[in-house]
Structure 1
Amino acid sequence: MTKVLVLYYSSYGHIEQMAEAMAEGAREDGAEVHIRRVAETAPDAVVQAAHFKTDSPHAVIEGPEALVAYDAIIIGAPTRYGRMPSQIAAFLDTTGGLWARGALNGKVGGAFTSTASQHGGQETTLFSIITNLLHLGMTIVGLDYGFQAQMGVDEVLGGSPYGATTISGGDGSRQPHAEELAGARYQGKRIAQTAAKLLG
């Protein structure tokens, strides 16, 4: 059975919801899926002042060695100035040993993100994650145009061929749209399918 990890960081819960949708999609293809989050690195005073979401049903990942057990790794994070936030970067910075021995070569990877605004850096954030995955030797699967909902222009929606996305609004009040969650499920299923084919 294909093993898939959905690894994320979420300040306000938007990415957490997208992670659940990614996992649902991967499970549709019969994969064993685990959802983990990275540790919070912001000081408690910042977390409290910014009203970060501090409760989560998902455990913090044990460390970089945990990645080796998976056939596919999907990483999600909100944008910070058009790139991944420091919490995800700090975790990825611990994977040097995996890179040195090629431990993730040939595994499948993908990325997803959220931004406050429609043009708030979704694609650059996805590429900041994807770049790390490519250096780790992974094969990348995005949100292909088989998911036609990303082509619509009748309403403001996330979605990019580089990965599923959502838009939170400047105050974080907008929750992931049904089509954005559908995009995450679609990408999760595609990643699981690709990993299964490569394993076969």
Structure 2
Amino acid sequence: MIVASLLLILLAVVLLVIGLAGGSSLLLIISIAASLLAAVALVAGARQVAAARATAEPVRPRGGPDTTGAYGPPVDTGVPVQHVPPTVDDGGAGWRQPPEPPAADPSTPVEPFDDEPATQDVPVADAARLARLDNEVRVVDGRPRYHLPGCPHLVGREHEPLPVAEAVELGFTPCVHCTPATALLAEDGRITSGGAGA
């Protein structure tokens, strides 16, 4: 189709020159018609080429390596890819798991951790403000509380820094010993009249 459109363009140019030189309106009209046919043939040819490419070549992201075979499974490119496991609800051990005490036997009721501090009482208005802060708190994997960095409950335990908004979103609650809700809201200047430590 593309070759046909090029031939039609050449024909249109020749007819245009002859029509202008001889003053023939008929040749000028035929030249215009040939130009229009060339345009239609060019568009049709371009669409055919695009359709042929789409069925013959696999689609790959721009700038990335080709990781698929022509018509088969992915091809190993030899480039290592970092696997980042999900941090929530993956069912396995790892950081940022929703806090739940372990159960030895599924038929026995789940008991809270014996050494876990109680939850600091936080008014609803303060809890909503706390959930918008990005201050850093500490969490211990699998434990339900979040703490300030100097909390005695963290001594001897592996802990991870986490923004307080994310800790609240994941279901962690503030420790009654280090009262992180009171400290963070006071630091932010947003404690309500009821107070976060009440």
TM bracket, shorter-chain basis = under 0.3
Which one has more relative contact order, counting CA pairs under 8 Å at least 6 apart? Answer: 1
Higher strand share: 1
TM-score norm. by structure 2 comes to 0.21
- Of the two, which has the highest radius of gyration? 2
